[in-house]
Structure 1
Amino acid sequence: MKKNIRLLALLALGLAACQPEFDKPVDESGFYSAGDADFSNYVAVGNSLTAGFADNALYIQGQENSYPNIMAQQFAHVGGRDFIQPLMNDNIGGLLAGGTQIADTRMVLNATDTTFVNLDEQPTTDIANTLQGPFNNMGVPGAKIYHLVAEGYGDISGVGSTANPYFVRFASSAGTSVIADAAAQTPTFFTLWIGNNDILSYATSGGVGVDRTGDTNLANYRSNDITDPNVFAAVYDQLLTALAGSGAKGAVANIPDVTSIPYFTTVPYAPVPMDAGTAAYVNSQYQDYNNAMLQYAALGLITQEEAQRRQINFQEGQNPVVITDEYLTALPNPQGGEMPKIRQTTPEDLIVLTAQTHIGQDPDDPSIIHGVSVPLEDQWVLTPEEQLLVSNAQTQYNATIKALAGQYELAFVDARAMMAQAAETGIPYDGGVLTSAYATGGAFSLDGVHPTAKGYALVANAFIEAINETYNSTIPGVNPGAYPDVFVK
């Protein structure tokens, strides 16, 4: 025992002698380096992903866990200062305009049946009550790239047409633009993640929109249209000119594939269970249609391949749904008008997340079974043809982002690769693995599009890694496991 006591005393002396070499905590100023960048005035520009949108709403907790706010906390180690956000009034989400609700509350998971529901509470954030800036987080939910340069985008009189209710809350004036307010702060460092909505609004609507490739007249554009790649490139360059004009350094991110997010991968292409008797009955109701398609093929009005594609056939077990497909050939109906353009889904189709509450028996008319007796409308499915339009635009957008990042010597974040990894293998972190599995994967919130706080922490780390590599800085990352994921009611 005495020998053990003496040994412990010697060890204590040895540790005491070594103590001066470890007298600087890792979080003390000076341990980390800003490298070649200046983070004293950081401004983030973008859309809902920048704002911290989650669970189909903007709310305080989401904003506090936005990737720019997480980054700003890490920038504090290397000279970063206060990061001011246009915070909502509550954690309920939703918006009011003069007391009238104009946006839904946040989604939560119902623990009893694992479905999502909106909080049954009254929002308290009224867009008529404007905030005084400036604000470092210039993320505007719903914004497309050309919206960021649009004057009057924060004019309350234009809400519903030319203005955005979220920007109305914190625009410096009714006539300003998002980029004007951002550039007016003369940032020393900026991030820009924009362009998702320029294809995503088309995709999430099931392709109910127009591909505007080749059309540079913004007056023709509607909310669900795909932005022309040339418009995208011109505006993106305009944004970088404004943000980097004073010598600021920055980081940009590209656009993920729609197939990487659970909004398009959660509902299977064959979601309808059916017994043998029901299948036989339903098939009898489609027999005339099936025969007509074969006859049209025999007459040469459609190919044999299309005739087979249009055959409706149910069987015992899980079944594809019947959908309307505008890309099918228009055919005359002997009884007048046109034959319905319908077929069943295949593994190549993407049924949108919100369709899961629509497929099945109509609560108002039990005789209607959506996806069986009544085809699903275009808005519920993104077909392969529509996916190709999205992919073509995305490829061109991402080429522009990568090229301009090089031209302006900015850090580049490959968000597309990161989201693909989450969907395919998952992204490990200290404490687990984040995947794109709906509700359980941890990376995506309940709207199936926007990340959870854990997911935003991953995004923040990706930006920080690219910044460190580009600007020789040593900004520390964060542990995604320290952040929350979905909220269960």
Structure 2
Amino acid sequence: MKNLKYIALSIFTLGFLACENETLEDLRNRGQEEPVVFEDFTQGSADFSKFVSMGNSLTAGFADGALYKISQENSTPAIMAEQFAALANGGSFTQPLMNDNVGGLLAGGNPLPGFGPRLVFNGSGPAPLQSLVPSASPTTDIVLNNPTGPFNNLGVPGAKSFHLLAPGYGNFSGVIANPPTANPYFVRMASSPGTSVIADAVAQQPSFISLWIGNNDVLGYALSGGDGSNPITPMTGPPGVGFEQTYQALAATLTGNVPGVQGILGNIPNVTAIPHFTTVPHDPVPLDAATAGAVNQAYAQYNGGLQLALANSLITSEEAAARTINFEASATNAVVIVDEDLTDLSGLGLPNFRQATAADLLVLPAASFIGTLADPNNPLSVNGVAIPLSDRWVLTPEEQAEIADATAQYNGVISAVASANGFALLDANALLDELASSGIATSGLVLTSDLVTGGAFSLDGVHPTSRGYALIANEMLKAIDATYGTNFEASGNLVDVSTYNTNYSPGLLQ
């Protein structure tokens, strides 16, 4: 044993010396390399004198489940505006900053339901800020202390495409209406109660715009597990209803009222590739032999009913096999889910149950729901085992296909509008797919879409970190280079992504 110890130590030492020698050799080689020579910066045909950005939470700088001051200061358009001002003819860039780094909103001193403080990292995963800092409280009040505009960043968290056209979207009375017709974030920035996002953008007569909208038109459906409570925006229909005419109306309003306006559009990423849908495995249930046997006994009647349905040709043998529920003594049992796309066997008294497969995507909040008790007084009522997960907790392949189809159609519209108006185009779809598949090397780092450790996505699994927003800013600058003849990339004036944070301390409150 002692000899093995010394052999291992020798191997480690040799490996260390080899690495050290390689490092020295690298340094020698670097000294002999030709220095990188960058071009002088050129502005091309771009006019950045008045930059206005429109969109949703991805434009606002939303991160960690909330909007908070430092995340806004590191939003994608704010990072771009810094480069415009430092190198070209860019002017000031005003944002509707929150009062604090807690996040969350108040209305007349009272917490606004659904708009709580940010998430933080507790050493093992995402956690509410107040679980680590109980005294942390929101101070941003949409009634008492809204900032003064006009604002160059008109990113409104939660906005769908048609919301940018909607008059009154910043009227406080609409926030408390049932159902709501206004957005509390836009209440803070609207020039008047009856205005719209697009009207406030046009009023500033921007020379250059960014428009990244449409993500929520599919994301809302995805986040709700495709349960129908937040439907996908239809492709067809008049402005304010269908995505195509709505998006075309946004572009026409800009180009028709702001002569010579330039800009960049962002398309819609594949939302099912983000960590909100890729973090929770389909098979997270650990069971011993006794418990597995008890659960199987509970499902014996259901499984028997499937065989009866098969014998009567009501379902195929493939569906019978897919619906059969079986648990084993294992650490990786699949959860049981409700799947509305299965054959309706209610005539036999059989529900639409099956166990999840790797093709199903469980939403991130399911991590804290699976394994809890539906009935605190019944130890057998385990959610995800004896009690199947309802539609809101999982995206089935059929629901994923709906999202993919809508995303492809939306992106066709956005691409056509960009081409027709000479706007640059950020291919966010390809960017996020690359993050999910291979990661992206930049500024000496490799960013991936892994939750917490990947660097690109914040703790809510949906929105980027400040580092992720910097990555997106660089990609937008590259697209602007290609369209307007600037040379941010060739002149070495992309931002250093490594200097931006991936998370912020729970102690950062003000």
Shared fold, TM over 0.5: yes
Once superposed, which parts of structure 1, at least 4 consecutive aligned residues long, lie more than 4 Å away? Answer: none
Which residue identity does 2:81 align to in structure 1?
Answer: A
1:81 aligns with 2:95: no
Per-residue displacement from partner, 1:370-423 (whole Å, max 9, x unpaired)?
100111111000111111111111000001111111000111111111111111
Q: Which of residues 156, 161, 182 is equivalent to 1:140?
A: 156
Is 2:345 the partner of 1:345? Answer: no
Cα deviation for residue 258 of structure 1 reads 1.8
1:326 maps to a residue whose letter is: E
Residues 238 and 245 of structure 2 are in contact (CA less than 8 Å); yes or no, is this contact kept in structure 1?
no
CA distance 1:251–1:431, shift in 2 (3 Å) = same
The equivalent of 2:292 in structure 1 is 279
Q: Does structure 1 residue 385 correspond to structure 2 residue 398?
A: yes
Match of 1:440 in 2: 453
Which ranges of structure 2 fall in alignment gaps of 5 or more residues? 1-37
CA contact (8 A) 1:110 1:488 kept: no
Corresponding residue of 1:39? 48
**2:210 aligns to what?**
191
Aligned partner of 2:110 in structure 1 is 100
Return the offset for 1:332. Answer: 3.2
Shift of 1:214: 6.6
Please list the CA deviations of residues 220-278 of structure 1 after superposition, one character each: whole Å capped at 9, or x if unmatched. Answer: xxxxxxxx7xx211111111122233211100111111232000000011111122222
Q: More deviation in 386-395 or 297-306?
A: 297-306
Alignment partner of 1:172 is 2:191: yes
| TM-score in terms of structure 2 length | 0.85
What pairs with 1:330-409 in structure 2 (closer than 5 Å)?
A: 330-332=344-346, 338-362=349-373, 364-365=376-377, 366-409=379-422
Q: CA deviation at 1:284?
A: 1.1
Rounded Cα–Cα distance in structure 1 between residues aligned with 2:444 and 2:247: 38
Conserved 8 A contact 1:187-1:243 = no
Give the letter for the 1:49 counterpart: L
CA distance in 2 between counterparts of 1:32 and 1:197 reads 36
- Tell me the distance in 1 between the aligned counterparts of 2:244 and 2:233: 14
- Structural mapping, 1:10-409, within 5 Å: 31-76=40-85, 77-102=87-112, 103-111=115-123, 113-119=124-130, 120=134, 121-128=136-143, 129-160=145-176, 161-209=180-228, 210-211=231-232, 213=234, 216=237, 231-245=242-256, 246-317=259-330, 318-332=332-346, 338-362=349-373, 364-365=376-377, 366-409=379-422
SS of equivalent residue, structure 1 residue 367: coil
Cα distance 1:422–1:349, how it changes in 2: closer, same or farther (>3 A)?
same
How far apart in 1 are the matches of 2:108 and 2:316? 57
Q: Partner of 1:180: helix, strand, or coil?
A: helix
Aligned to 2:497: 480
Cα gap change, 1:41/1:418 in structure 2, threshold over 3 Å: closer, same or farther?
A: same
CA distance in 2, matches of 1:87, 1:487: 17
Q: How far 1:446 moved relative to its partner?
A: 0.3
Cα RMSD, aligned residues only: 1.9
Indicate the residue corresponding to 1:222 in structure 2.
none
Q: What is the identity percentage for the equivalent residue pairs of Structure 1 and Structure 2?
A: 52
* Residue aligned with 1:347, SS: coil
C-alpha distance in 1, partners of 2:446/2:211?
27
Inter-partner Cα distance in structure 1 for 2:346 and 2:477? 59
The one-letter code sitting in structure 1 at the alignment partner of 2:72 is Q
SS for the counterpart of 1:433 is strand
Moved more, 164-173 or 294-303: 294-303
What is the rounded CA distance, in whole Å, between the counterparts of 1:319 and 1:117 in structure 2? 29
Tell me how far apart the structure 1 counterparts of residues 341 and 323 of structure 2 sit (CA, whole Å). 12
Q: Structure 2: how far apart are the matches of 1:167 and 1:388?
A: 32
Please give the secondary structure, in 1, of the residue aligned with 2:263.
strand
Q: CA–CA distance in 1 between the matches of 2:413 and 2:358?
A: 31
CA distance in 1, matches of 2:184, 2:205: 25
CA distance in 1, matches of 2:239, 2:300: 47
Specify whether residues 217 and 36 from structure 1 end up closer, same or farther in structure 2 by C-alpha distance, changes over 3 A only: closer
C-alpha deviations, 1:151-180, integer Å up to 9, x for none?
A: 000000001511000000110011000000
Residues 214, 420 of structure 1: CA spacing in aligned structure 2 closer, same or farther, 3 A cutoff? closer
Contact 1:33 1:473 in 2 (8 A): yes
Q: How many residues align?
A: 448
Quote the Cα distance in structure 2 between the aligned partners of 1:283 and 1:373.
9
CA contact (8 A) 1:39 1:75 kept: yes
Letter in 1 for 2:499: A
Q: Is the 8 A contact 2:337 2:391 kept in 1?
A: yes
Asked if 2 retains the 8 angstrom alpha-carbon contact of 1:190 and 1:243, the reply is no
Secondary structure of the residue aligned to 2:415 is helix
| The one of 406, 416, 422 aligned to 2:435 | 422
CA contact (8 A) 1:104 1:118 kept: no
Per-residue CA shift, 1:193-233, capped at 9, x if unaligned?
000000000001100224554763799xxxxxxxx7xx211
